[in-house]
Structure 1
Amino acid sequence: MSFVSCLRQWADAVAFSEKGDKISALQAFLEIQDKTSKISFNIGCLHLNNDDFDVAEKAFDNSIGKDEHLAVAFFQRGITFYKKEKFEESLLDFQQAFKELRGNQLIDYKPLGLRYKLYACEVLHNIGLVYATLGKWEKAQENLLTALNLRSEAKFGHIDQAVESILKQKLFSLVGIPAGLLFKPNKHYVAELEKKDYLGKAKVLSSVVPADNFSGFAPLQPQVVDAPTAPKQPEVLRALEGEPHTVLYEFIPETEEELAVLPGNIVFVLQRGDDNWASVMFNGRVRIYTKDPKVFSGCIVKVHFMFTIAMCISPGQPFTAVLQLVSTKLKRPASTLRLRYCHYSSPHRHLIEKRVRTHRASTKPDCTHCFEYPSTITSNLHRQIPILKSFVPITHCAPLIQDKALAQENMVALFSYEASTPEDLEFREGDVITVLSKVNDEWLEGECKGKVGIFPSSFVADPNKDQ
């Protein structure tokens, strides 16, 4: 049972006892699984008041077992033993209760939840009664005289009457805790068990709905005057009538009639013009003019240096312009670079002269502009490298002053790697990759299944080193 459940059950049992329903209170206490010393004490008191001395004795035993310094539990068990005529056991419990007072005149149990004060003079009063019952009148008189010296209030007149009874060798009444007094749970903890409404009830201050007093969380349903009989056709349905196209390049409008688009945007062409412009639908805007999305402004070319890079080269550019683009991309002086290519049928390398210009290719429908030379190129450092895609040519760029040749190694792929850029080399787990060069500590250049590109070095391993 959790602490909260135990606390709630404890509070309910005390409430039953205060209402006079002792049976329900006792039943509620007994249903608590993890009984503390205070709860066992309460059970013992209820049984003691019902004259169930044997059950009360066991309950006080459990209470003392949980708290060996609970003086009031020894006091109540001493009363139980006395009523069971176990005078020796009763005397020991009263003496132990007096010992737990530790020289104090009283113990106030109110801070612990029991509105009762255990006085040392009353404990000595009961000790004197037990001695008198055992016939030890001198011991009884001695303890009663000590009780007279320790009493601090005039309300303890029964001690004077007990002394008079001892002189006449007569017994007197036993002092006990009043019936109905029980340990109560901490009131602050009990208060936390009650649900509290910290926000209170909301009040409608303003509403678009007349006479609206609803303050819940349901959405408002405002009344519309002269609502249309049929819903308006969404603009997106008109867009579906056009031909969808994907924007390849960013376009910045110069007039209000032109449309701003970014690469990857999908537009619907409604009408084409002869002047390379088109009327398109984009984000619900119609009759906005933008450049025909099917027109390419260049060709993607792969250039292999120490690793593969991808570049976009416009048609008609001279060799010097192309060389300057490669120089800028590689961050190397153009004077130290030269471009070579080779045909599919021959590994022989051809130097690209300055007279070479790019032109429009009529045999490659997927690439409007490309180099006039075949798309498989080799370098001085590596063997022939087949192209990755037919519309992405590969050109090799080598420095005029060559570095030391790199030994080619065969690596085995430990994991599959998917290419995310044109420069990447895609392969599957277990593929054999020929390492062409080292880009840096984390990336390598290699060839696999006729494709060339860069890949993470951590994805491959040398099979010879494992042997």
Structure 2
Amino acid sequence: MASLGDLLRDWHQGAQAVARGDWDCALRLFSSVSEPPARVSFNVGCVHLLAGDPEAALRAFDRAVTKDACLAVGFLQRGVANFQLERFQEALSDFQRTLAQLRDNTAIDYTQLGLRFKLQAWEVLFNVAAVQSQLGLWAEATCSLGDAISKGPEGVRNDLDIALGQVQKQVPLQPRQVPRGEVFRPHRRHMEHLEPVDFLGKAKVKGGGFSLLGPRRSCLCPQALDVRGEARPRAAAR
């Protein structure tokens, strides 16, 4: 079984490989993590999407949401993979599950969990409309975009109006997803434990202070701690 230090090192180096666009290296490092947490499986899925392999991405996102049924962003990305595979009913189900995880909140900020991304309700509604447009459900897509407009900030109103015009002309939409190159990274304070190096040049974990054990969930519990010792994502005010 891999040590805590090995897991953190491979996770960190995999994220660095994603940042420089080295998909093969990133996949090799993330895949080397034995019994990966949901966030590492999520990372694998994102890299497969970047590499143009939505089938492999779908399998990775399946693993992520199986390990963490509250990982809303995992359902979002699985919906994108299903959309790319033209499995539109499955994509619609995934985006609807993403909305359910938002629990009527306007957003979930994943920054504190190491992903520089804020999941916005209006973007999920946009994706619902994108699937509905692919299925030829134009009236439903128009309604979903109306909901997106009501929940979106003023700065995105113009883009949503353009999308609404496309749907009214029966032009299908493409879904939104996590920005290119963004993946979960281990928390900085955890990486501080890897700074000392022994005489063989291998990073060592200092002391205790944190654990990788515990329930693997990311539900919206502002007071709770995540499995890997990090605060859970907070929902925006309703």
Alignment of 1:1-400 (within 5 A): 1-155=2-156, 157-195=158-196
Q: 1:87 to 1:113 in 2, by over 3 A?
A: same
Is the Cα–Cα contact under 8 Å of residues 114 and 187 in structure 2 kept in the other structure?
A: yes
Q: Distance in 2 between matches of 1:20 and 1:57?
A: 20
The one-letter amino acid paired with 2:166 is S
Residues 395-418 of structure 1, C-alpha deviation per residue, up to 9 Å, x if partnerless?
A: xxxxxxxxxxxxxxxxxxxxxxxx
Where 2:176 maps in the other structure, the secondary structure is: coil
Deviating above 2 A after TM superposition, structure 1's stretches of 4 or more consecutive aligned residues are: 155-158
Where 1:107 maps in the other structure, the secondary structure is: strand
Q: 1:117 to 1:156 in 2, by over 3 A?
A: farther
Unmatched runs of 5 consecutive residues or more in structure 1: 197-467
Q: Distance in 1 between matches of 2:44 and 2:91?
A: 19
Q: Distance in 2 between matches of 1:24 and 1:189?
A: 22
The one-letter amino acid paired with 1:131 is Q
Residues 157-195 of structure 1, C-alpha deviation per residue, up to 9 Å, x if partnerless?
A: 321111111111211232111110000001011012101
Residues 366-419 of structure 1, C-alpha deviation per residue, up to 9 Å, x if partnerless?
A: xxxxxxxxxxxxxxxxxxxxxxxxxxxxxxxxxxxxxxxxxxxxxxxxxxxxxx
Where 2:126 maps in the other structure, the secondary structure is: helix
Residues 2-41 of structure 1, C-alpha deviation per residue, up to 9 Å, x if partnerless?
A: 2222111111111222222221111011111120000000
Q: Distance in 2 between matches of 1:155 and 1:147?
A: 10
Residues 265-320 of structure 1, C-alpha deviation per residue, up to 9 Å, x if partnerless?
A: xxxxxxxxxxxxxxxxxxxxxxxxxxxxxxxxxxxxxxxxxxxxxxxxxxxxxxxx
Q: Distance in 1 between matches of 2:107 and 2:150?
A: 14
1:326 corresponds to:
none
Residues 34-66 of structure 1, C-alpha deviation per residue, up to 9 Å, x if partnerless?
A: 200000000000001111111111100000011
In our comparison, the structure showing a higher alpha carbon Rg is 1
2:231 corresponds to:
none
Is the Cα–Cα contact under 8 Å of residues 18 and 47 in structure 2 kept in the other structure?
A: no
Give the CA RMSD over aligned residues. Answer: 1.5
The one-letter amino acid paired with 1:181 is E
* Percent identity over paired residues: 37
Q: Distance in 1 between matches of 2:103 and 2:91?
A: 19
Q: 1:25 to 1:156 in 2, by over 3 A?
A: farther
Where 2:156 maps in the other structure, the secondary structure is: coil
The one-letter amino acid paired with 1:123 is V
Q: Distance in 2 between matches of 1:155 and 1:135?
A: 25
Q: Distance in 2 between matches of 1:79 and 1:54?
A: 11
Q: Distance in 2 between matches of 1:149 and 1:75?
A: 20
Where 1:155 maps in the other structure, the secondary structure is: helix
Please state how far the C-alpha of 1:156 moved relative to its aligned partner. 5.0
Is the Cα–Cα contact under 8 Å of residues 129 and 173 in structure 2 kept in the other structure?
A: no
Q: 1:72 to 1:160 in 2, by over 3 A?
A: same
Greater strand proportion: 1
Please state how far the C-alpha of 1:84 moved relative to its aligned partner. 0.3
The one-letter amino acid paired with 1:118 is L
Q: Distance in 1 between matches of 2:159 and 2:83?
A: 19
Q: 1:20 to 1:145 in 2, by over 3 A?
A: same
Is the Cα–Cα contact under 8 Å of residues 79 and 95 in structure 2 kept in the other structure?
A: yes
Deviates more, 1:25-34 or 1:15-24: 15-24
Greater helix proportion: 2
Unmatched runs of 5 consecutive residues or more in structure 2: 198-238
Q: TM-score, normalised by structure 2?
A: 0.80
Alignment of 1:395-434 (within 5 A): none
Q: Distance in 1 between matches of 2:12 and 2:134?
A: 40
Residues 127-172 of structure 1, C-alpha deviation per residue, up to 9 Å, x if partnerless?
A: 0111111111111111100100000241353211111111112112
Where 2:63 maps in the other structure, the secondary structure is: helix
Q: Distance in 2 between matches of 1:16 and 1:165?
A: 37
Q: Distance in 1 between matches of 2:12 and 2:167?
A: 44
